[in-house]
Amino acid sequence: MLRLTPLVKSVLNFHRVVQFTMFGILLAFVIWFNYGTELDRAISGTPQTDSSAIVVHDNSRTAQELTADADEYRGESIGSESIGSESSQSSAPAILSIDEQMQKIDRDAMLANVEKLARDVTNLDSDLTAWNEQSSDLATNDSGRRMASNPEIFLAVAGLIASEPVSADDFAVLKSRTRLLGDEAMNVRQGNTRSSLDGAFASTKAMFEKLRTSLDHAVLSLAAFEKRSQLLKPSATTLADAMAAHKEKQAAEIASQLAKDKEETEQKIANEKREAQAMLNKLALEREREKAAAKTMQLQTEIENAKIAKQTAAAKQQLEAEFARDLPKIKHYLGKFFADGYTQPQSATHYEQRSTKGPVSLAAIQKAGALSDVVEGLDGAYPRFLHLMASPTNDRVAQSPYPRFIGGYVPRESAATVREGYTLLKKYQYLLVEKRYLAP
């Protein structure tokens, strides 16, 4: 092929139209020689292999030589060459990218899977029809009678037939889904849609496999039972009649069990009602006992209160009598508290001015610590009581048996006086408020 250059030059000496035609044929030959395999693969959708790349590499030198030999001719007829080059480029088919080729492979594989699934569903339909026909035949033929003669085989076969390995509703859904997949696959093949079939195909295939497995298991099980019963003597009762009788027996057993369950339930309810009533009676009795106990306690409380009130009244009466007897001493030792004034004790050593006039407040005396149970010592009740009686900040003018006191221990000569005054105040403090000798 490398020796074609002299022939080409001799041919190009002919008429320009002939030259242009020959150049086009030569250029087409060069393109086909170097890229023919690649063009065929692009048109068919087959991905490029390494071998094609090697062929292109080995032939590149030949293409370069042919192109160099044609440069002279292109110089003479550049216009014709441009027209021919544009025509060749526009007529060359587009080369698919690797991603587009992979997508095409995946799409074709999915379409093939959809077609296979449609065939499998058709086969399942045929097998399901055969199963129904076999089940119908067994209902009356000798094979079914032989199965009915053995209790173990009969129960297994009856349960197998009654279980309906592929329900009509499930199979109708499967066929509808398969038809939709076929319609969508047609649209994908015609380029009318770009939707993915993966999700719908996977779920439909899973449903098919579940129904296929169920039917296959039923067919194999029935075949095994039929083989086991080949040597058995046929029963006088057909398989259909045996199944009907068994169904009636089951219904009777279920009805009997339901009646038994109902009776047990009613008995249980009756027992629970009796227990509940007994519990209510017990609770009512407990409530009555609690009411009686509460009433008894109330009566006891009232008796105790009456007793306390009686004792209190007697004590109060006794206190009143003693108060009347001690009133002169009370006024002598506590008169400084009884007089009206505008000051009230702020502490044991100081009175503060108030806006209201009246006797000294018992609460203020108590707050000052003059009625504390601890009487001795610097912080005892005696020195505090004496402080309040002798305080110069008290604006009340009244006779007082207490000496002037600036603090410290109570003078020995005044101890008896202070003790008497404290004792009278401690004993009659609340009665003094009640009789308004002291403010609250």
Q: Please give the helix or strand (H or E) that residue 329 lies within, else none.
A: helix 239-338
Structure tokens at 246: 């068994």
Question: 96 pLDDT exceeds 60?
Answer: yes
Mean pLDDT of the chain: 80
Give every CB contact of residue 43 below 8 A, 6+ residues apart in sequence: 93
Q: Once rounded to an integer, what is the mean pLDDT over residues 131-158? A: 90
Q: Is the pLDDT of residue 36 over 90?
A: no
Q: How confident is the model at residue 193 (pLDDT cuts 50, 70, 90)?
A: low
pLDDT for 29: 65
Look at residue 246 in the predicted model and tell me its pLDDT: 86
Confidence class for position 17, pLDDT limits 50, 70, 90: low
Average confidence (pLDDT) over 276-300: 88
Average pLDDT over residues 270-282: 90
Please give the average per-residue pLDDT across 81-95, as a whole number: 50
Query: What pLDDT is attached to residue 299?
Result: 81
Question: Would you state the pLDDT for residue 428?
Answer: 94
Tokens of 389: 């009686």
| Tokens (6 digits) for 148 | 């009915």
Is the pLDDT at 282 greater than 60, yes or no? yes
Residue 22: per-residue pLDDT: 66
Taking the C-alpha atoms of residue 435 and residue 108, their distance in angstroms, rounded to an integer, is 118
Residue 403 confidence (pLDDT): 87
User: What share of the chain has pLDDT > 70, as a percent?
Assistant: 78
Residue 302 has pLDDT above 50, yes or no: yes
| DSSP characters over 136-177 | HHHTTSHHHHHHHHSHHHHHHHHHHHHT-SS-HHHHHHHHHH
The residue to which tokens 């398969």 are assigned = 178
The answer to whether residue 311 scores a pLDDT higher than 90 is no
pLDDT for residue 94: 65
The total of other beta-carbon atoms located within 10 Å of residue 298's CB is: 10
CA distance 84 to 81: 5
* pLDDT beyond 70 at 63: no
pLDDT digits (tens, 9 = 90+) for 230-263: 989 999 889 888 889 888 888 888 888 998 888 8
**Pick from 427, 346, 434, 336: nearest CA to 386:** 336
Confidence class for position 124, pLDDT limits 50, 70, 90: very high
Q: SS3 for 6?
A: helix
Strand-pairing partners, residue 318, are none
**Residue 322 CB contacts under 8 Å (≥ 6 apart), including other chains:** 427
Half-sphere exposure of 301 (CA within 13 A, CB side): 6
Beta-carbon contacts of 401 under 8 Å, excluding residues fewer than 6 positions away, are: 332, 333, 417, 421
Look at residue 61 and tell me whether its pLDDT is greater than 80.
no
How much is the CA Rg of the chain, to the nearest whole Å? Answer: 63
The angle at the Cα of 360, spanning 357 to 362, to the nearest 5 degrees, equals 135
Task: Check pLDDT > 90 for residue 41.
Answer: no
pLDDT band at 103 (very low <50, low <70, confident <90, very high): confident
Helix, strand, coil percentages for the chain (3-state, nearest 5): 75, 5, 20
What does the pLDDT look like over 333-364, one tens digit per residue?
999 999 999 999 999 889 999 999 999 999 99
- Residue 192: the pLDDT is 56
Max avg pLDDT among 64-73, 296-305, 403-412, 424-433: 424-433
Element housing 357 (H / E): strand 351-358
Task: Transcribe 165-222 into DSSP letters.
Answer: SS-HHHHHHHHHHHHHHHHHHHHHHTTS-----HHHHHHHHHHHHHHHHHHHHHHHHH
Q: Left, alpha or beta for 368 (phi > 0: left; psi -120 to 50: alpha)?
A: alpha
Residue-wise DSSP of 263-323: HHHHHHHHHHHHHHHHHHHHHHHHHHHHHHHHHHHHHHHHHHHHHHHHHHHHHHHHHHHHH
End-to-end alpha carbon distance in the chain: 141
**pTM: predicted TM-score of the whole model, two decimal places:** 0.40
Determine the angle formed by the axes of helices 151-162 and 198-228, rounding to 10 degrees.
Answer: 160
pLDDT at 248: 85
